[in-house]
């Protein structure tokens, strides 16, 4: 098996999976301007993947530029995890990741995502099913948290480290804490120590509130983690994976050029299948920090097409 996790130089810099944000267009943009070592798709529901509705399949679309790319899945039914892993391996992804971290009410209420931390028996069945479906072709990893309602790092991670997982990414909060309140990076140090004690080959990736490369480096130094995963930090600075650039040093013209690049890639990728409006959530990344940014942003938010947005930027 080609285990991408073992091939990458440490520390590994990963783009976090973010539903509604890290779509193929945004990943292509990042690949051009500052490429993470590893990117993840938005989470895809295993049941939806095998339904007649094409949305889930479409969501997993990718280009070679985004490789190495890991497909993330979520759900409850181990049988579907096996089928999904088989599908994902055949589709050419570099790996498969199981979501055991999502705090969204609709997901947790079903017992999925971050709620699985309280249901190790089902979580274990899902991992084993994914390993069986992947059949040694691609590595399987898990993204999780420190606990569901309370921190249970040691028992939960000890449990996960029993399986043949290539990596475990840990958002260092509980599911209940959402993305609010303090992160617990000291728990990540504990996990690294536990992994070493158990002589496990599973890599540990730390996640939570990394908003600059400096913070990332500090976390890596302090915890000896194998890599970091950055989510919202990429909205604060889409150059966060590029050691040579930061958004704050970019001129208004450069920022608007970047926005136009994103519009172009989005149109090429989703022009025929997705509406223009989801793209608007990205505007504040680029239209920010210069004189007149606010009024330009308001004008752009009122547009109804990429063509109209382009015309306003050119004006
Ligand atoms: C808009 C949004 C969508 C997200 N979607 C997913 C997802 O699909 N799968 C997942 O595992 N985590 C998802 N997350 C959680 C992030 O991957 C990450 O764990 C979390 O934002 C904490 O990292 P950060 O502080 O670097 O943002 C999402 C977060 C945000 C803000």
Mean pLDDT over 235-261 rounds to 97
Q: pLDDT tens for residues 77-103? A: 999 999 999 999 999 999 999 999 999
**Alpha-carbon distance 187 to 169, whole Å?**
13
List, in sequence order, every residue forming a beta bridge with 3; answer none if it has no partner: none
Distance 292 CA to ligand 1 centre (A): 31
Minimum CA distance residue for ligand 1 atom 13: 18
CB 146 within 8 A of CB 173: yes
Judge whether 102 counts as a catalytic residue. Answer: yes
CATH ID of 4-236, from 3.20.20.70, 3.10.20.90, 1.10.10.10, 3.100.10.20: 3.20.20.70
CB 218 within 8 A of CB 230: no
- pTM for the full model? 0.98
216 Cβ partners below 8 Å, 6+ apart?
A: 13, 210, 228, 230
Minimum CA distance residue for ligand 1 atom 18: 231
* Residue 171 marked as a ligand binder: yes
Both structure tokens of 60: 């997993």
Residues framing ligand 1 (Cβ under 6 A): 16-21, 42-43, 72, 99, 101-102, 143, 171, 179, 207-210, 230-233
- Residue to substitute in 18, 174, 225 for testing ligand 1 pocket (most ligand atoms within 8 angstroms of CB): 18
| Alpha-carbon distances of 287 from 125, 129, 241, 256, 272, rounded to whole Å | 46, 45, 20, 7, 26
Q: pLDDT tens for residues 13-37? A: 999 999 999 999 999 999 999 999 9
Q: Residue 68 has what DSSP assignment?
A: S
**Alpha-carbon distance 303 to 103, whole Å?**
33
Minimum CA distance residue for ligand 1 atom 26: 231
The domain ranges of the chain are 4-236, 250-314
Q: pLDDT tens for residues 146-179? A: 999 999 999 999 999 999 999 999 999 999 999 9
| Alpha-carbon distances of 112 from 54, 105, 161, 167, rounded to whole Å | 22, 10, 20, 20
- Residue to substitute in 17, 71, 146, 285 for testing ligand 1 pocket (most ligand atoms within 8 angstroms of CB): 17
């Amino acid at each position: 098996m080609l285990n991408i996790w073992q091939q990458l130089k440490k520390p590994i810099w990963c783009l976090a999976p973010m539903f509604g944000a890290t779509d193929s267009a945004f990943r292509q943009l990042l690949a051009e301007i500052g490429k993470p070592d590893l990117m993840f798709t938005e989470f895809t529901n295993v049941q939806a993947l095998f339904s007649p509705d094409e949305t889930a399949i479409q969501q997993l679309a990718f280009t070679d530029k985004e490789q190495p790319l890991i497909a993330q899945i979520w759900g409850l039914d181990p049988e579907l995890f096996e089928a999904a892993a088989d599908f994902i391996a055949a589709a050419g992804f570099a790996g498969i990741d199981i979501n055991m971290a999502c705090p969204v009410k609709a997901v947790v209420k079903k017992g999925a995502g971050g709620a699985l931390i309280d249901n190790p028996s089902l979580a274990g069945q899902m991992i084993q099913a994914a390993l069986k479906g992947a059949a040694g072709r691609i590595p399987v990893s898990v993204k999780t948290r420190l606990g569901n309602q309370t921190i249970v790092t040691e028992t939960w991670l000890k449990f996960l480290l029993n399986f043949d997982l290539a990596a475990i990414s840990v958002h260092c909060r509980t599911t209940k804490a959402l993305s609010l309140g303090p992160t617990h990076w000291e728990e990540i140090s504990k996990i690294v120590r536990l992994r070493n004690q158990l002589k496990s080959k599973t890599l540990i990736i730390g996640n939570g509130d990394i908003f600059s490369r400096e913070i990332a480096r500090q976390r890596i130094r302090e915890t000896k983690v194998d890599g970091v995963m950055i989510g919202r930090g990429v909205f604060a600075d889409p150059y966060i994976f590029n050691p040579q650039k930061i958004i704050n040093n970019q001129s208004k013209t450069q920022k608007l050029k970047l926005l136009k690049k994103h519009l172009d890639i989005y149109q090429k990728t989703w022009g025929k299948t997705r509406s223009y409006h989801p793209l608007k959530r990205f505007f504040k990344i680029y239209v920010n920090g210069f004189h007149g940014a606010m009024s330009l942003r308001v004008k752009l938010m009122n547009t109804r097409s990429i063509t109209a947005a382009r015309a306003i930027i050119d004006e």
